[in-house]
Amino acid sequence: MITLNSLLRLDCIKHPLESSDSRGAINELVNLLHEHGLVQDPEDVADAVWERELQRTTGIGEGLAVPHGRCPSLDKVVAAVGYAADPIDFKANDGKPVELIVLIVSPPDNTTEHVQALSAISRVLGHQATRNAAFACETAEALHALLCNGADD
């Protein structure tokens, strides 16, 4: 079973993001995964995530977006998190801009772990108190600790 503790690496959390739009934020997080050896072809991965984003927004609302996609060049589920000090428009259903972005990318033949990763995010960030605490984190380390420590109990 995928858990946030097993999925999120501290070096794959960017706080703050430099991007000011959704495409840039996705690219920035994919490049972070590439810098740490988790994806080999960042352009292919970013295109897969963006293709999914164009089908339907992954701006969930309440300041959260979970862009995700499937990419044949991957052999396992990978994730990156970004905090936008200046909230980004992800076309969320509630019309609010996004502060916290959790990117999930998986191989196309691994539906089970893809869904488990999305569920793990939902279990933790589905709570308003946890989202508020995440928005208040001032460092990547604090955000990682909040999302992972005890998040999967």
Is residue 150 classed exposed, middle or buried when 0-12, 13-18 and 19+ CB atoms within 10 A define those classes?
Answer: exposed
pLDDT score for 149: 84
Confidence at residue 152, expressed as pLDDT on a 0 to 100 scale? 44
Q: What are phi and psi of 64, to 5 degrees?
A: -120, 140
> What percentage of the chain reaches a pLDDT higher than 90?
95
For the stretch 102-115, pLDDT in tens is 999 999 999 999 99
Residue 132 pLDDT grade (very low, low, confident, very high; cuts 50, 70, 90): very high
Q: The pTM is what?
A: 0.95
Indicate if the pLDDT at residue 29 is higher than 50: yes
Tokens of 139: 């460092």
User: Would you list the domain boundaries of the chain?
Assistant: 4-147
Residue whose entry in the numeric block shows the structure tokens 């502060």: 99
Kindly state the average pLDDT of the residues 73-101. 96
What CATH number does the domain located at 4-147 have?
3.40.930.10
Q: What is the pLDDT of residue 66?
A: 98
Residue 153 has pLDDT above 50, yes or no: no
